[in-house]
Amino acid sequence: MPKDTGGITSNLLGGLCSCLRRCIFGILSMGPVPNHIAFIMDGNRRFAKKSNLAEGIGHKAGFSSLVSMLRYCYELGVKYATVYAFSIDNFKRKPKEVQSLMELMQEKIEELLQDESIINEYGVKLHFIGNLQLLAEPVRISMEKAMNVTAHNKQRVLLVCVAYTSSDEIVHAVEESFKELWNEVHKSSGATVSNGTIGQLDRSPKRNGIRVNAQDSCEDYARQNADGSTDRSGETEISSCNGMVEIAEEGKHDQGELPAIKLTDVEKNMYMAVAPDPDILIRTSGEVRLSNFLLWQTSTCPLYSPAALWPEIGLRHLIWAVLNFQRHHFYLEKKKKQF
């Protein structure tokens, strides 16, 4: 009997909390609602240490917080949510810890595909963003399966950044843009680039009047030009350094001017091209560093950094972030128009 009473009380409290939450979201919806919120889930290991728990327990608690936060976002009307799950730099951690995180990630992906999961409840489309080739094959297969299974969902979108850094994303976008440019120029001659790397093209110092230098470091490139070993007459140089694209035209292609790589070309080849830029970026644990996350997409995005560790994040933190966004919305929209 006491167990039945406890269950009824729990259900009543859950219902009251849900009703109150919807009332709060109804009030917030009177103002501008963010379309896209991004999260840097910082503090899982510190939470475990603080609570005297095993390290892996912190990450499991963090997943529970993620599900709750996604539910709040989707109830509020936020369509896109992005989470920074695993950086390329995290591969530098102890192999045992990396393996444990990969196994946990694979386990949680399977949970998300279950019928009663939040993915099916809200019709969420899953995207895994990053250099997925760096991941172990079983994890990559699980991600591909999840993306295929949810491809038909249209109501909400969840982007999970795995094996990701912003600098890697920018380099990838520049390389893909160059491949498109190369194929466009040489379409008539049949010399195209598909799955090969830019570095493979560098082995030929000059092809049809074009020299490629996209993989070499900036120092190597400068040293090469300084010693006069490169014949630069009639060439078009395309180089990438620190995420910036430089196109210096010094000659003409045989069949006309060589088309330039444009900003729109780079942006469409970004991993994050499947979603609009974030309206709010939330990083827990009080840190204000972006840690190489969405550097290209957050130039006009407000950063909210509560002191709570990720497993401790709650509804009040999201409400405060949205209120702060609404307060500065007019100014932010004005800044976006200037870019």
Sign of the dihedral defined by the CA atoms of residues 295, 298, 304, 310, in that order: negative
Sign of the dihedral defined by the CA atoms of residues 225, 231, 235, 238, in that order: negative
Catalytic residue among 42, 265, 277, 279: 42
With 0-12 / 13-18 / 19 or more C-beta atoms within 10 angstroms meaning exposed / middle / buried, residue 3 is: exposed
Sign of the dihedral defined by the CA atoms of residues 159, 241, 265, 141, in that order: negative
Active site residue 89: no
Catalytic positions are 42
